[in-house]
Amino acid sequence: MEDTIAAISTALGEGGIGIVRISGQSSFSILDRIFIREKSENEYINRHMYYGKIVNPENNEMVDEVLAVYMRGPNTYTCEDVVEINCHGSIISQKRILDLALNNGARLAEHGEFTKRAFLNGRLDLSQAEAIIDLIKARTDEGFDVAINHLEGGFSSVVADLRETLLNVLAQITVNIDYPDEDIEQVLYKEVEKKLVTMNSEIQTLINSAETGRIFNEGIRVAIVGKPNVGKSSLMNSILGENRVIVTSVPGTTRDTIDENINIGGIPIILTDTAGIRETENEIEIHGIERSKEKFNKADLVILVLDNSRSLDQEDINIIEKIHDRKVLIIINKTDLKVLLEEKDVIKMIPEAKIIKTSMKEMSGIKDVKKAIEEMFLIGELRQQGSHTVNNSRHKDLLNKAESSISDGINLLKENEALEIVEIDINNAYRLLGEILGETIEDDIIDKVFSKFCLGK
Ligand SMILES: Nc1nc2c(ncn2[C@@H]2O[C@H](COP(=O)(O)OP(=O)(O)OP(=O)(O)O)[C@@H](O)[C@H]2O)c(=O)[nH]1
Ligand SMILES: [Mg+2]
């Protein structure tokens, strides 16, 4: 890591201040070239902030009035010498200061390169580095709390403990491979099997928590579907509490999918209004219906809206047939009008679904819809699950692979296979868990992890 890197570390936009960060062995000398301290003592004190001006050394033009801090490695974010220049929060000022740093010996940092250096220099393990992205991107208090716990090493220590257990098992096995003893071997088989079974149930608990983690991070995707004119857009507006989507009495009003975010019980919900699904010749509507189907397929929850003032028809039935295996909430809307829809027909077709009656005209039933979403996803309970939640698909994938490798090992033990063969699976699981922490991992995977970061982090 010879290069000295620089980037704008604050979000680009107008703000009170902006920060340009430089890291690497030349960062102090670069700052000295472009920064004139007000009180120009020769020596600076580590981690003290200095007031002064950033000046272009080529023409002595002043760029901005700033506060700059020198941080001597290894006790810094990257473990290298780091400089941070606090300037006015103008995009122009930040870009000019960055350009000066680049013209005076630094190169532009790649996405996540500061954090990558912290990882490569051993200050963080890979799962802690990933927690930093989650922390920055968290959209809920719960998501943030999980990320903080991971950053503090809470999740890493759980994974490290699992690896430690595997290592002990490996040691036990290896001794017996080298000095086989038939009597001990039988006891050993049982003992190792028991340890592996316990371990797999711990891993399974972690894997199960991943759904909660995903919801904390990304939110719950809810698609409002139904045939035209049943009141989907009216429902969307009522849940949002604003007239976001156009509502008219013309069937086929909504031609495109419309996403909006709301928060229910502290969890983000991505609510999508869709085009009414029906057979049509209209080209625009056909595209809209295609998009509706995509949203429908990806949704965690499908809200099907039916019209109380019309009897159930083939268009409704076609949609109901597609939602059987999904998490579904049925809304019978327009309860202010004369009843023509037979509720028992709906129940017969889809007995497992919860039904709520609403009238968007009278604004009734909307609270019940929100409450039902909260209950269906056990939002109250999700929030209690807390810190050991797996919140990252890379981790979930590796835990799954480790679990299946350990299962293979258990089966081999049951079949009284030779320990040399069992050892292969256990070793494999040990390596897979190591990938979570970044201990046994290829460079391209590391690059992929850090490419998800923003610039300047
Ligand atoms: N009486 C009554 N009318 C309603 C109710 N909900 C919606 N409407 C009316 O029904 C018509 C259609 O409502 P929308 O919300 O546009 O229906 P949609 O399902 O989005 O329709 P498309 O976008 O065409 O698929 C409008 O005239 C609404 O005012 C209700 O609860 N009662
Ligand atoms: Mg609509």
Indicate where the chain has its CATH 3.30.1360.120 domain(s).
5-109
Q: Per residue in 266-313, pLDDT tens?
A: 788 999 999 988 888 888 888 888 898 888 899 999 999 999 999 999
Residue, of 334 and 451, whose pLDDT is higher: 334
Q: Which residue lies with its CA nearest to atom 11 of ligand 1?
A: 249
What average pLDDT score do residues 185-213 get? 90
The pLDDT mean for the chain works out to 91
Q: Which ligand is nearest to the CA of 239?
A: 1
Q: What is the CA(225)–ligand 2 centre distance, in A?
A: 9
**pLDDT value of position 387:** 59
**pLDDT value of position 1:** 59
Segment holding 62, helix H or strand E: strand 62-71
Q: What is the pTM of this model?
A: 0.75
Q: Which ligand is nearest to the CA of 237?
A: 1
Q: What is the CA(299)–ligand 1 centre distance, in A?
A: 22
Closest ligand 1 atom, CA of 251? 24
Fold classified for 5-109 = Gyrase A; domain 2 (3.30.1360)
State the pLDDT confidence band at 2, using cuts at 50, 70 and 90: confident
Q: Which ligand is nearest to the CA of 359?
A: 1
Contact between 150 and 391 under an 8 Å Cβ cutoff? The reply is: yes
Q: What is the CA(248)–ligand 1 centre distance, in A?
A: 7
**pLDDT value of position 385:** 59
Ligand 1 contact, 313 CB (< 6 A): no
- Interior angle at CA 33, CA 28 and CA 36, nearest 5: 100
**pLDDT exceeds cutoff 90 at 77:** yes
DSSP letter for 241, please: T
Say whether 406 sits in a helix, a strand or coil: helix
State the pLDDT confidence band at 156, using cuts at 50, 70 and 90: very high
Strand order across the beta sheet in which 301-307 lies:
258-264, 267-273, 220-225, 301-307, 328-333, 354-357
pLDDT cut 70: percent of the chain above it: 97
CATH class of 138-209+390-441: mainly alpha
Q: Per residue in 337-376, pLDDT tens?
A: 999 999 999 999 999 899 999 999 999 999 999 999 988 8
Q: What is the CA(240)–ligand 1 centre distance, in A?
A: 16
What average pLDDT score do residues 141-166 get? 91
Taking Cα atoms as reference points, which of 167, 161, 128, 195 lies closest to residue 430? 167
Q: Which residue lies with its CA nearest to atom 16 of ligand 1?
A: 247
Indicate where the chain has its CATH 3.40.50.300 domain(s).
218-382
DSSP letter for 341, please: S
Indicate where the chain has its CATH 1.20.120.430 domain(s).
138-209+390-441
Probe residue for ligand 1, chosen from 230, 234, 338, 356 as the CB with the greatest number of ligand atoms within 8 Å: 234
For residue 157 the two structure tokens come to 């220590």
Segment holding 87, helix H or strand E: strand 82-89
**pLDDT exceeds cutoff 60 at 452:** yes
**For ion ligand 2, residues whose CB falls within 5 Å:** 232-233, 253-254
Q: What CATH code would you report for 218-382?
A: 3.40.50.300
Q: What is the CA(378)–ligand 1 centre distance, in A?
A: 30
Segment holding 136, helix H or strand E: helix 126-137
Distance CA 158, CA 152 (A): 12
